[in-house]
């Protein structure tokens, strides 16, 4: 581990790809264009960005799966360019889809991975037992993986990536396609890993996932870091609390906006489709009370009224110009 307290550091990483395969001397695309990252040891660090922003390229470079063209990087205190073999001994990598044999049982899968990592038969069996207990899979240990739920498969996949107890774990879209229960199971497993001292670099397009798990978030776009802060710090960039009112009739939307304007710190915004008016406020409780009372006095039928904190989706919209779900759908 680095003496600075960081498990992962990247400074000015660059990675170029030829626009056309096989083209020599032709135009190149910068997948990473001076990318910077600093991940504190023993934390979950979120890496967010639109499709094509450079997230996967950054993770692959840090995990030694591709060579970067410029800059420097350290993982677990080891120079990635100088000693990639030693880096690979200190890291785990879990991709978007579980890399498991569905015919084998959970126990057999872990023992197989242990043997692939040269643990030897006895040590592989012992390590498999430890991981099955750590990830709450003991009851399902001797069932075929084909019968596992989505959440159980992802937990087993995480367990497989922890065979050598890596200091740093790279998680790429760990809950894609899972139902809410499965996502919760994976989140609990990630929290347990960090409590045990593992550092996790998480890439995800589920912003609520980053908000719940990550203590620090880096936003990347066009191969560069465009924001780096705690989740609350990023939200504060968007603004403070907002009051929102949804009216029952379109004709009342303008009136609701005028009422909000009396107590707001910013000009109210309206959404004519959702019949919603909202604006940033200072004294949140006083503003809510005043608006609710005035709307009632004006005879305005209200479907919903409340105070909202900015979300990471608001941050994503402000920083990248579009909402995250649009990128995920694409």
Q: Which of 25-29, 91-95, 193-197, 249-253 has the lowest mean pLDDT?
A: 25-29
pLDDT-derived band at 328 (thresholds 50, 70, 90) equals very low
Q: What is the CATH number of the domain that holds 281?
A: 3.30.70.100
Count of alpha carbons within 13 angstroms of residue 32, beta-carbon side: 26
Closest by CA position to 268, among listed 289, 251, 236, 291: 291
Is the pLDDT assigned to residue 207 strictly greater than 70?
yes
Q: Which of 92-101, 106-115, 318-327 has the lowest mean pLDDT?
A: 318-327
Are residues 78 and 223 both part of a single domain?
Answer: yes
For residue 166, being part of any structural domain is answered with yes
Q: Enumerate residues 6+ apart whose C-beta is below 8 A from 186.
A: 151, 154, 155, 158, 174, 175, 178
For residue 106, being part of any structural domain is answered with yes
Quick one: 177 exposed, middle or buried, by C-beta within 10 A (0-12, 13-18, 19+)?
Answer: exposed
Are residues 94 and 163 both part of a single domain?
Answer: yes
Domain boundary among the residues 214, 235, 256 is at 235
Are residues 286 and 204 both part of a single domain?
Answer: no
pLDDT for the residue 234: 87
The 10s digit of each residue's pLDDT in 3-32 is: 568 999 999 999 998 766 555 555 678 899
Give me the mean pLDDT over the 205-211 stretch: 86
Task: Kindly report the number of other CB atoms within 10 A of residue 249's CB atom.
Answer: 11
The 10s digit of each residue's pLDDT in 53-101 is: 899 899 999 999 999 999 999 999 999 999 999 999 899 888 766 678 8
Are residues 92 and 184 both part of a single domain?
Answer: yes
- How many structural domains does the chain have? 2
For residue 79, being part of any structural domain is answered with yes
For residue 322, being part of any structural domain is answered with no
- Geometric angle at alpha carbon 36, from 32 and 41, rounded to 5°: 130
For residue 127, being part of any structural domain is answered with yes
Are residues 230 and 271 both part of a single domain?
Answer: no
Domain limits at 280?
240-309
CA 208 to CA 146: how far, in whole Å?
Answer: 29
pLDDT for the residue 201: 96
Give me the mean pLDDT over the 188-205 stretch: 90
- The structure tokens listed for 67 are 């060579």
Residue of 290 and 99 predicted with greater confidence: 290
| DSSP 8-state secondary structure symbol assigned to residue 251 | G
pLDDT for the residue 274: 92
Is the pLDDT assigned to residue 239 strictly greater than 80?
no
pLDDT cut 90: percent of the chain above it: 53
pLDDT-derived band at 167 (thresholds 50, 70, 90) equals very high
pLDDT for the residue 281: 86
């Amino acid at each position: 581990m680095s003496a600075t307290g960081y498990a992962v550091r990247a400074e000015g990483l660059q990675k170029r790809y030829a626009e056309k395969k096989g083209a020599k001397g032709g135009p190149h695309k910068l997948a990473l264009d001076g990318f910077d990252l600093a991940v504190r040891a023993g934390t979950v660090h979120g890496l967010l960005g639109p499709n094509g922003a450079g997230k996967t390229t950054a993770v692959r470079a840090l995990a030694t799966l591709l060579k970067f063209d410029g800059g420097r990087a350290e993982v677990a205190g080891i120079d990635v360019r100088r000693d990639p073999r030693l880096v690979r001994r200190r890291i785990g990598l879990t991709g978007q889809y579980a890399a498991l044999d569905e015919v084998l049982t959970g126990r057999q899968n872990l023992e197989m991975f242990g043997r692939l990592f040269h643990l030897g038969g006895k040590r592989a069996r012992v390590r498999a037992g430890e991981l099955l207990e750590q990830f709450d899979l003991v009851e399902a240990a001797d069932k075929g993986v084909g019968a596992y739920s989505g959440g159980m498969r992802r937990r087993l996949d995480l367990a497989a990536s922890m065979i050598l107890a890596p200091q740093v774990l790279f998680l790429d879209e760990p809950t894609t396609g899972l139902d809410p229960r499965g996502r919760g199971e994976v989140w609990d497993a990630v929290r347990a890993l960090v409590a045990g001292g593992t550092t996790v670099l998480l890439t995800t397009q589920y912003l609520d996932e980053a908000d719940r798990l990550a203590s620090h978030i880096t936003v990347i776009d066009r191969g560069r870091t465009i924001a780096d802060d705690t989740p609350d710090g990023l939200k504060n960039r968007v603004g403070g609390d907002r009051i929102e009112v949804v009216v029952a009739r379109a004709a009342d939307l303008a009136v609701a906006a005028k009422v909000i304007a009396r107590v707001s710190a910013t000009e109210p915004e309206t959404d004519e489709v959702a019949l919603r008016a909202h604006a940033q406020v200072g004294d949140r409780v006083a503003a809510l009370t005043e608006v609710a009372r005035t709307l009632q006095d004006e005879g305005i039928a209200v479907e919903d009224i409340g105070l909202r904190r900015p979300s990471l989706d608001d941050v994503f919209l402000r920083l990248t110009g579009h909402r995250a779900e649009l990128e995920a759908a694409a």
